[in-house]
């Protein structure tokens, strides 16, 4: 979002991205869960950056040398005067044996496509050999990502059962969570509603249950039991890109770089950090990582980079948490909007409306009109 604001202001900059497209991170569960084709959740960056002074370089950042103000990429070195770091996150496996090797993660558009394709291929394999493990899906983690993914998959498998002529009662979708509840960031009342909705759709929720190891096709639990599953997806933990720590920046236990009120690194005032990489504290408490805060940071990052580059006074970042919405499938959801609890179809509609809002913020009325038709269901 910072690049979009810099582009709109006509401020010259270079954006280094691994892809030629921007993907809709908060909707990856929809792509993985088969709601639409994964490619529909991507927008070419060339459609977003309009200023001739905005430059896109498709490359991968592999190191940051803050002493010499150089970013190292696969394609070479790039010097900078002011650097904005928004490298996102990587999965955190918490040292669980075999988890990284034998599970899939929902980290980007390509991984979402792999999950969708894998689930379909498992149904096709069941058609051939009737092995029930092909119809078993295990999801680790019951935060927003894990629960939204589960809601999508529960709807998706019902469609696949029709497509492949499979009895829906044979399909198992498990969620394993170490905490004693799902969705810890929302109220107990809403958690109860979410649990009821998911279980009515056929979900098997295992709260207060730790995964201790994973072997090919098997999730082992702390009580000695196991779940055999043809599809295993891990959504139970993330941490910031390790390049921040490797660059010598002060980081928290999640690897996020500590920033000041202007979103500058506390170690180097030529480096700004935003999104999931940013450790920002308000009243002594670190802000959570969230898409809405990342978008708000984008505006402040752009404003402050321009200000410091031109000798103007920077603005303090003021976060505004507007609530949390979670989809529980294609039609319904739950959430807290401005302190008001919502659930069912109204929450589902609000969730869809947030997509349109983001499209408008990202690309104006044109993107909202074109991409909104593809991904918004009202």
Of 289, 262, 304, nearest to 5 by C-alpha is 304
Please give the Cα distance from 34 to 200 (Å, whole number): 20
Q: Phi and psi of 36, rounded to 5°? A: -145, 175
Please give the Cα distance from 29 to 112 (Å, whole number): 7
- Report the first-to-last Cα separation within the chain, whole angstroms: 25
8 Å CB contact between 78 and 71: yes
Catalytic-residue membership of 148: yes
Neighbour-count burial for 57-67, b at 16+ CB within 10 Å, e otherwise? eeeebeebebe
Under 8 Å CB-to-CB from 48, ≥6 apart: which residues? 3, 4, 7, 22, 362, 363, 367
8 Å CB contact between 233 and 31: no
Within 10 Å of residue 46's Cβ, how many Cβ atoms? 11
Please give the Cα distance from 5 to 302 (Å, whole number): 6
8 Å CB contact between 190 and 147: no
Helices assigned H by DSSP within 62-208: 99-102, 109-129, 144-164, 188-200
Place of tokens 């009737």: 130
The tokens of 213 are what?
A: 């190891």
The tokens of 267 are what?
A: 């170690």
Please give the Cα distance from 150 to 327 (Å, whole number): 10
Under 8 Å CB-to-CB from 372, ≥6 apart: which residues? 355, 356, 359
Query: Exactly one of 30, 122, 148, 152 is catalytic; which is it?
Result: 148
Q: So which residues are the catalytic ones?
A: 148
């Amino acid at each position: 979002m910072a690049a979009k604001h810099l582009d709109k202001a006509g401020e010259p900059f270079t954006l280094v991205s691994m892809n030629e497209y921007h993907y809709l991170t908060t909707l990856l569960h929809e792509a993985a869960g088969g709601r639409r084709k994964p490619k529909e959740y991507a927008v070419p960056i060339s459609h977003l950056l309009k200023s001739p002074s905005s430059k896109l370089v498709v490359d991968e950042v592999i190191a940051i040398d803050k002493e010499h103000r150089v970013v190292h990429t696969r394609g070479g070195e790039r010097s900078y005067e002011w650097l904005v770091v928004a490298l996102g996150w990587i999965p955190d496996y918490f040292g669980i044996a075999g988890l990284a090797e034998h599970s899939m993660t929902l980290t980007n558009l390509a991984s979402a496509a792999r999950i969708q394709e894998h689930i379909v291929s498992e149904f096709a394999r069941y058609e051939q050999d009737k092995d029930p493990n092909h119809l078993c899906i295990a999801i680790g983690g019951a935060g927003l990502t894990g629960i939204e993914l589960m809601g999508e998959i529960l709807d998706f498998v019902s469609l696949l059962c029709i497509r492949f002529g499979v009895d829906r009662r044979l399909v198992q979708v498990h969620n394993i969570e170490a905490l004693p509840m799902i969705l810890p960031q929302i109220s107990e009342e809403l958690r109860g509603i979410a649990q009821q909705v998911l279980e009515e759709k056929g979900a098997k929720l295992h709260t207060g249950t730790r995964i201790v190891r994973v072997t090919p096709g098997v999730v082992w639990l702390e009580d000695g039991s196991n779940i055999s599953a043809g599809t295993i997806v891990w959504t139970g933990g993330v941490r910031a890109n390790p390049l921040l720590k490797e660059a010598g920046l002060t980081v928290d236990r999640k690897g996020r770089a500590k920033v000041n009120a202007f979103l500058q690194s506390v170690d180097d005032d030529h480096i700004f950090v935003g999104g999931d990489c940013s450790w920002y504290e308000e009243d002594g408490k670190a802000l959570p990582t969230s898409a809405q805060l990342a978008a708000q940071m984008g505006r402040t990052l752009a404003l402050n980079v321009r200000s410091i580059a031109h000798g103007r006074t920077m603005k303090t970042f003021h976060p505004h948490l507007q609530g949390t919405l979670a989809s529980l499938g294609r039609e319904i959801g739950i959430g807290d909007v401005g302190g008001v609890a919502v659930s069912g179809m109204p929450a589902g509609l609000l969730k869809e409306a947030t997509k349109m809002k983001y499209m408008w913020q990202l690309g104006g009325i044109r993107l909202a009109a074109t991409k909104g038709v593809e991904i918004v269901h009202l």
